[in-house]
Amino acid sequence: MNVHKIETEEELEAAFRVRRDVFITEQHVPEADEFDKWDTLTSGAVHILAGTAGEPAGAARFHMKGSQAKLERICVQKAFRGRRLGSRILEKLEEEAVRAGASSSILHGQTHAEAFYHRHGYVTTSEPFDEDGIEHVRMEKTLR
Protein backbone atom coordinates (compact mmCIF):
# COMPACT_ATOMS: atom_id res chain seq x y z
CA MET A 1 0.00 0.00 0.00
CA ASN A 2 1.42 3.35 -1.08
CA VAL A 3 1.68 6.10 1.59
CA HIS A 4 2.77 9.41 0.12
CA LYS A 5 2.58 13.19 0.23
CA ILE A 6 -0.34 14.47 -1.82
CA GLU A 7 0.68 16.41 -4.92
CA THR A 8 -2.53 16.69 -6.99
CA GLU A 9 -6.11 17.84 -6.56
CA GLU A 10 -7.25 14.31 -7.49
CA GLU A 11 -5.25 12.85 -4.59
CA LEU A 12 -6.56 15.53 -2.23
CA GLU A 13 -10.14 14.67 -3.21
CA ALA A 14 -9.37 11.00 -2.54
CA ALA A 15 -8.14 11.93 0.96
CA PHE A 16 -11.33 13.94 1.49
CA ARG A 17 -13.38 10.82 0.57
CA VAL A 18 -11.61 8.87 3.32
CA ARG A 19 -12.15 11.66 5.83
CA ARG A 20 -15.85 11.90 4.93
CA ASP A 21 -16.29 8.14 5.34
CA VAL A 22 -14.43 7.94 8.67
CA PHE A 23 -15.18 11.21 10.41
CA ILE A 24 -18.52 12.38 8.97
CA THR A 25 -20.31 9.09 8.19
CA GLU A 26 -18.79 6.74 10.78
CA GLN A 27 -18.09 9.13 13.68
CA HIS A 28 -20.80 11.75 12.97
CA VAL A 29 -18.48 14.79 12.94
CA PRO A 30 -20.35 17.72 11.33
CA GLU A 31 -18.99 18.41 7.84
CA ALA A 32 -18.62 22.09 8.73
CA ASP A 33 -16.16 21.06 11.48
CA GLU A 34 -14.24 18.56 9.36
CA PHE A 35 -13.06 20.82 6.55
CA ASP A 36 -11.25 24.11 7.08
CA LYS A 37 -8.70 26.58 5.72
CA TRP A 38 -5.95 23.92 5.71
CA ASP A 39 -7.74 21.79 3.13
CA THR A 40 -6.07 23.08 -0.02
CA LEU A 41 -2.76 22.31 -1.66
CA THR A 42 -1.73 25.96 -1.21
CA SER A 43 -2.67 26.36 2.47
CA GLY A 44 0.74 25.42 3.85
CA ALA A 45 -0.54 22.09 5.17
CA VAL A 46 1.02 18.83 4.04
CA HIS A 47 -1.55 16.15 3.19
CA ILE A 48 -0.86 12.40 3.16
CA LEU A 49 -2.75 9.72 1.24
CA ALA A 50 -2.53 5.97 1.78
CA GLY A 51 -3.64 3.87 -1.16
CA THR A 52 -4.24 5.50 -4.51
CA ALA A 53 -6.60 8.17 -5.78
CA GLY A 54 -8.64 5.28 -7.25
CA GLU A 55 -8.63 3.28 -4.00
CA PRO A 56 -7.99 5.58 -1.02
CA ALA A 57 -7.45 3.75 2.26
CA GLY A 58 -6.18 6.39 4.69
CA ALA A 59 -5.40 10.07 5.03
CA ALA A 60 -3.86 12.67 7.32
CA ARG A 61 -2.36 16.14 7.33
CA PHE A 62 -0.17 18.47 9.34
CA HIS A 63 0.65 22.13 9.43
CA MET A 64 3.44 23.94 11.16
CA LYS A 65 3.07 26.08 14.29
CA GLY A 66 6.55 27.51 14.67
CA SER A 67 8.90 24.52 15.00
CA GLN A 68 6.04 22.22 15.98
CA ALA A 69 3.98 20.13 13.54
CA LYS A 70 0.25 19.90 14.36
CA LEU A 71 -0.86 16.45 13.14
CA GLU A 72 -4.53 16.22 12.25
CA ARG A 73 -7.22 14.17 10.52
CA ILE A 74 -5.37 10.86 10.83
CA CYS A 75 -7.75 8.14 9.63
CA VAL A 76 -7.98 4.74 7.97
CA GLN A 77 -10.99 3.30 6.16
CA LYS A 78 -12.65 0.50 8.17
CA ALA A 79 -11.85 -2.14 5.51
CA PHE A 80 -8.11 -1.39 5.79
CA ARG A 81 -7.74 -1.33 9.59
CA GLY A 82 -5.52 -3.84 11.39
CA ARG A 83 -2.83 -3.80 8.67
CA ARG A 84 -0.39 -1.28 10.27
CA LEU A 85 -1.59 1.36 7.82
CA GLY A 86 -2.19 3.87 10.62
CA SER A 87 1.40 3.37 11.75
CA ARG A 88 2.71 3.90 8.23
CA ILE A 89 0.64 7.09 7.86
CA LEU A 90 1.92 8.41 11.20
CA GLU A 91 5.53 7.61 10.25
CA LYS A 92 5.12 9.43 6.92
CA LEU A 93 3.60 12.45 8.69
CA GLU A 94 6.57 12.59 11.05
CA GLU A 95 9.07 12.17 8.22
CA GLU A 96 7.50 15.02 6.26
CA ALA A 97 7.24 17.16 9.41
CA VAL A 98 10.97 16.79 10.08
CA ARG A 99 11.62 17.65 6.42
CA ALA A 100 9.53 20.81 6.97
CA GLY A 101 11.66 21.78 9.99
CA ALA A 102 9.62 20.41 12.90
CA SER A 103 11.45 19.46 16.08
CA SER A 104 8.30 18.14 17.75
CA SER A 105 4.72 17.23 16.97
CA ILE A 106 1.39 17.61 18.72
CA LEU A 107 -1.98 16.04 18.06
CA HIS A 108 -5.42 15.68 19.57
CA GLY A 109 -5.87 11.93 19.69
CA GLN A 110 -9.18 10.23 20.28
CA THR A 111 -8.95 8.51 23.65
CA HIS A 112 -9.76 5.10 22.13
CA ALA A 113 -6.56 5.51 20.03
CA GLU A 114 -4.38 6.82 22.88
CA ALA A 115 -2.50 3.49 23.27
CA PHE A 116 -1.72 3.50 19.53
CA TYR A 117 -0.05 6.90 19.84
CA HIS A 118 1.77 5.84 23.03
CA ARG A 119 3.30 2.93 21.08
CA HIS A 120 4.68 5.53 18.66
CA GLY A 121 6.32 7.60 21.38
CA TYR A 122 3.59 10.17 22.07
CA VAL A 123 3.01 11.40 25.60
CA THR A 124 -0.41 12.49 26.83
CA THR A 125 -0.26 16.10 28.04
CA SER A 126 -3.88 16.87 28.94
CA GLU A 127 -6.95 15.56 30.62
CA PRO A 128 -9.63 14.26 28.23
CA PHE A 129 -11.70 16.92 26.47
CA ASP A 130 -14.58 16.94 24.02
CA GLU A 131 -13.98 17.70 20.36
CA ASP A 132 -17.00 17.29 18.07
CA GLY A 133 -18.68 14.96 20.57
CA ILE A 134 -15.65 12.64 20.76
CA GLU A 135 -13.31 12.43 23.75
CA HIS A 136 -9.73 13.47 22.90
CA VAL A 137 -6.43 14.10 24.67
CA ARG A 138 -3.57 16.37 23.65
CA MET A 139 -0.37 14.43 22.90
CA GLU A 140 3.21 15.45 22.10
CA LYS A 141 6.40 13.86 20.75
CA THR A 142 9.94 15.09 20.20
CA LEU A 143 10.90 14.34 16.60
CA ARG A 144 14.62 15.15 16.62
Concatenated DSSP letters of 26-72: IT---HHHH--TT-STTSS-EEEEEE-SSSEEEEEEEEEETTEEEEE
Q: What are phi and psi of 40, to 5 degrees?
A: -140, 165
The model's confidence at residue 82, banded by pLDDT at 50, 70 and 90, is very high
Q: What is the pLDDT of residues 66-79, one digit of tens each?
A: 999 999 999 999 99
Q: What is the pLDDT of residues 8-65, one digit of tens each?
A: 999 999 999 999 999 999 999 999 999 999 999 999 999 999 998 889 999 999 999 9
| H helix or E strand, kind and range, residue 86 | helix 85-99
Q: Could you tell me how far CA 86 lies from the centroid of its own chain? A: 9
- Of the candidates 79, 82, 94, 107, which has an alpha carbon nearest to the alpha carbon of residue 48? 94
Q: pTM of the prediction? A: 0.95
The model's confidence at residue 140, banded by pLDDT at 50, 70 and 90, is very high
Domains of the chain: 3-142 (3.40.630.30)
The model's confidence at residue 93, banded by pLDDT at 50, 70 and 90, is very high
